Amino acid sequence: MSHNKIREDKTCLNCRHVVEQKFCPNCGQENSDSRKTFHHLFIHFFEDLTHYENAFWKTIKNLLFKPSTLTKEYLSGKRLSYLAPVRLYIFISFITFFLIAIFPSKVGEGIDKSEKALAKEIAKTKKEAHVESERKYFKLKTMKEIDSIQKYGKENDKLSDFQYWAYEKVVHVTEHNTQREIIEKFIESFFHNIPKILFIIMPFFAFFLWIFHSKKKWYYFDHGIFTLHYFSFLLLIFLILFIVNKIAGLFGSDNPLTYLADIITFVGTLWMCYYFYPAHHRFYGEPRIVSFVKSVTLFIINSFFILFLLTFYVFYIFINLH
């Protein structure tokens, strides 16, 4: 049962009908304050999982082609006209996760079966050569050499406990995987976990928005809703491009659909890069030059932050390869 504070204004924010009690008699929306605290964002998360509306296509259309429209409509009180932001992100994440799990993206997809069979035979007879080649590529010492340095070497050359543990993991990976296998496994794991990566990044993204805007005019909740819609857009674009390329790939590499898929990918990538500026400008209502400067600055800051997180993520994937 909802415990939201009822608005003193008796005009429904969704349909403008007069609300005499708690719920609008015309559309059924609760006449409560639509701007909540940070705590409410988590409560809203669980509430959204238990409802669904018939506004899916309207939501998708606005999300793709009308930057910030969903956020402005939601915060203005029109919450029944579109999918709620948390529900929208979860739905897109689920579909993305499901399709990637069914159709994994691998680097080796372009190699024909005969070449793969030949590679396996070579790997069986020349495993040591592969290992040595990989060691030269990564410029790694053997664990015997490292242990010798740890025991007899100079203090400056010795590794810390964490460095020794990490180095041991890296050596283990390179001994059991070729350079190609490492790349394939990493890319497969990366695409498989994109929804999780974005979900981890979102609260930090909203925090940077909160830093750059008025604390009196905007709550963290507002930035959180903007972030949910923006990341839902990014994930949806990624999903669309993924589906387009998979469909084109079903007909081989030399067909008209491949070129069409390349064009769609190029246009989608451009729109994905540009989208944040109009979304920011329309939502926060600042002058274009101010919005542009903030957009570029936030893009740079978040890019470095994402790069920082991905560095740890890459290391985590690398040391857990089998």
Q: What is the pLDDT of residue 67?
A: 95
Give CA–CA dist 202/85, Å, rounded.
Answer: 13
Asked if residue 121 has pLDDT above 60, the reply is no
| Dihedral sign computed on CA atoms, order 285, 287, 292, 293 | negative
Calculate the alpha carbon distances from 105 to 117, 131, 199, 318, 321 in Å.
20, 26, 21, 18, 17
Q: What is the pLDDT of residue 123?
A: 52
Q: Three-class SS string for 36-72?
A: CCHHHHHHHHHHHCCCCCCCHHHHHHHHHHCCCHHHH
Asked if residue 128 has pLDDT above 60, the reply is no
Q: What share of the chain is helix, strand, coil (3-state, %, to 5)?
A: 70, 0, 30
Structure tokens at 244: 């387009």
Is 0.85 surpassed by the pTM of this model? no
Q: List the one residue out of 50, 32, 58, 43 whose CA is nearest residue 87.
A: 50
pLDDT tens per residue across span 215-230: 889 999 999 999 999 9
Q: What is the pLDDT of residue 43?
A: 58
Q: How many residues does the chain have?
A: 322
Structure tokens at 214: 């008025």
**What residue spans define the domains of the chain?**
1-33, 38-105+193-319, 126-173
> Percent of the chain, pLDDT > 70?
74
Residue range 12-38: average pLDDT? Answer: 77
Asked if residue 313 has pLDDT above 90, the reply is no
Give CA–CA dist 245/257, Å, rounded.
Answer: 9
Residue 37 confidence class, pLDDT cut points 50, 70, 90:
low
**Cα atoms in the Cβ-side hemisphere of radius 13 Å centred on 240:** 17
Look at 293 and 200; give whichever has higher pLDDT: 293
SS3 308: helix
SS3 155: helix
SS3 103: coil
192 close to 101: Cβ distance less than 8 angstroms: yes
Q: What is the pLDDT of residue 134?
A: 46
Residue range 169-193: average pLDDT? Answer: 72
pLDDT tens per residue across span 39-75: 565 555 555 544 455 678 889 999 999 999 999 999 9
Q: List the one residue out of 44, 11, 45, 41 whose CA is nearest residue 25.
A: 11
pLDDT tens per residue across span 89-110: 988 888 888 887 787 655 444 4
